[in-house]
Amino acid sequence: MPKFWMITVGGPRLLTLLALLAGLSVVPVALPIGAAVAQDGRIRDIQVVGNRRVEPETVRSYLKFTVGDAYQASKVDESVRGLFQTGLFSDVAIDRSGSTVTVKVVENPVVNQVAFEGNSAVDDAGLRGEVQLKPRTVYTRAKVQGDVQRILDVYRRQGKFSANVEPKIIELDQNRVNVVFEINEGGSTKVRSIQFIGNRAFSDSQLRDVITTQQSGWFDFLKNASFYDPDRLALDRELLRQYYLKNGYADVRIVSGNADIDREGTGFYLTFVVEEGDVYKFSDVRIENGLPGLNAAALQGELLTKSGQIYNAADIDKSVERLTLVSAEQGFAFARVRPRANRDVATHTIGLVYAIDEGARVYIERINVIGNTRTRDHVIRREFRLAEGDAFNPLLVDRAKKRLQGLGFFKAVEIKRRPGSAPDRVIIDVDLVEQPTGELSFGAGYSTSEGVIGDISLTERNLMGNGQFLRLRLSGSVERLQVDLSFTEPRFLDRNLAAGFDLFHKELTNANDSVYRSRKTGGTARLGFPLTENLWAQTYYTLSRDEIYDVDTVLGDDGRIASRAIREAEGVAMTSLVGTTITYDQRNHPRNPNRGYFLTGGVDFAGVGGDVQYARLSAEGRYYYPITERVTFVGRLTAGHIEGWGGDDVRLIDLYYKGGETVRGFNRAGFGPRDLSTGDALGGKTYYAATAEVRYPFPFVPDELGIRGAVFVDAGSLFGINDSSKNINGKPDTQCPSCPIANIVDDATPRVSVGTSLIWDSPLGPLRADFGWAVLKEEYDKEQLFRFGASTKF
């Protein structure tokens, strides 16, 4: 019958072992008086007893003495220590009887099975991958203790700091054991609060968007970032520092990042102390060339740092990398670019000199990638602008490290260098710690235009370890149902090209604005690529089946009937189009900026096959300016136009429809061309809109609540009915004499509204309530005083 016993060591054996490991001379033998000893004191024979699996010669190979040597206590001590260090034995004793030395060993058992009990948050497979004890390996107490710590580390990464692990051993026959780790997982230790001290330029909510750790909320079971992780805390400090350096704060210091646990031991309170310093700008920026034959004039265009611009450390790094690569293309493989900053504290400017000289002539012998159990090697290696045999450049290696960190696939990235097989050779070891890249997201909210809205999506950012992006999303409301599948290969053909496709299906019920339903099903193939550092282009091809159906063609009990323009537009058509968009982004924050601008424009050309022919242009610009440290001005301009070609009219389903999402104070499809006889919105060919908004914090409201206010002025217009609507306007319908005669109005008069907003970065996601009053409108427009929207991703 197997018996259970705890891992304990005690008694004389422990004292002997500790003394040996401490380097003390211990001879655990006592020679009886009168024992036969060789006259010369030399060893004539060495016997090994107690071994079962280990060969005697293997034991003798670890001894510091052999037959013919004089017996020395110091050699015996070293031999005992060496045998213990092999990990093969739980006990070792060396005795001498005359000229014979006997080595007595007790072998460590062999692991038969490793099991886990009490674990639910982490499955057995995940724990087996962490522990070192495996079946058919030699059992040692040191390995067990190490595995206990590894299991605890796994649970701490899951936010379970109260977890406890107790190993149990089951002895079997033939010197075998089963190892059982009994686990008490305890509760999750979440991040209750994240606060910042000393931040003036950016609000707490903005800085929370920068870091990876998140505050706990209602849906923590769907995310891991709300659990405290010490490694993530160190990463967050670096992310904060880089964010400030990118936005002009050259003197910034992240003084500390502290985590304090509450009395119950169930939650952490994180506090980051920031010393921002002042905003700096670049003054003189020049290149200092120390390489004869290098065309320095050709390098000026590679600089991203310009005189008069806000200081940006990221642009300095990118400029250094570009200068290094261009110098290598000119034949200077060992060119070294070192930026030298000359700071003027009085004027808050920084002069910058890029000094180019020749670095050490060292070549890369080998690049080793370690720790990527899921991510393929080529996904990692393609982030290096270096390969085996290339000239070693520390700058390019550091830039590769930052690109790997930016992928979001790895929790930790460490790049080490060690000497190669020759003095001018170096080996690069890339040590990685992977992190989960899949995400199950739920969304919920309410909109005054659609009612209750929701979505669910499944996202994988590192599909099959190939670095590809895949998302399946289902969203909808009472009036809308939409399904999307998106796939992106970010490095198509191992080049800086993002290729992918989108499949979509959308159904819309226009019960409030028009009495019909529409359906759109199709797919898009796209290819995107950078033109400059902040300028991105994307071209695409879309094929879709568009349908207008369930049109109210008979006067109903409610007195409603669809406009003649809608009745005649009923049917199915195939759209085949090509298009391209250009985007330029200079914002200081992707989601919550307070400085910079964003520009985008696009053109679509339909008629590459299919049933319809039109050209569509659209453009949008946004500008952000910090009036004070906490007050931000936001300006927005947008416009679009669509026109048929080749004698084709623009279909009703392809026209623009605008309302409160463009000019607040109006309902959905609340302004623009309309059939007054039925009240149906008919869409327009041309629109424009402008917004001026000032966002501000509320006095006496803590920043950590994430509540802000805004006042705004919106203006815009939608006009230009299609030819079909023009042809039927004011004319009786011969197919339906009893139907109302179309009375279509089309007015380009601007609509203007003013209002105020309440913005809350809530734990559920961004919430916004707008109160808008239409001060310039037409009598047939549909207004909406209050507009509320909420959506969230977890």
Alpha-carbon distance values, 617 to 336, 579, 639 (Å): 46, 10, 8
Per-residue pLDDT tens over the stretch 464-518: 999 999 999 998 887 889 999 999 999 998 888 999 999 999 998 865 555 788 9
Contact yes or no for 592/205 (Cβ under 8 A): yes
Average pLDDT, the chain: 86
In a 13 Å sphere around the CA of 435, the CA atoms on its Cβ side amount to 20
Q: Terminal CA-to-CA distance of the chain, rounded, Å?
A: 52
Per-residue pLDDT tens over the stretch 261-314: 877 767 888 999 999 999 999 999 999 998 988 888 888 888 999 999 999 999
Integer Cα distance of 44 and 782 in angstroms? 110
Integer Cα distance of 320 and 302 in angstroms? 9
Per-residue pLDDT tens over the stretch 407-431: 888 888 899 889 899 988 999 999 9
pLDDT band at 460 (very low <50, low <70, confident <90, very high): very high
Alpha-carbon distance values, 45 to 40, 62, 65 (Å): 14, 16, 11
pLDDT band at 449 (very low <50, low <70, confident <90, very high): low
Whole-model pTM? Answer: 0.66
Instruction: Report pLDDT for 226.
Output: 63
Quick one: which H or E segment has residue 771? Answer: strand 765-776
How much is the CA Rg of the chain, to the nearest whole Å? Answer: 36
Instruction: Report pLDDT for 726.
Output: 93
What is the mean predicted confidence (pLDDT) over 45-71?
Answer: 89
Alpha-carbon distance values, 757 to 659, 707, 770 (Å): 17, 11, 4
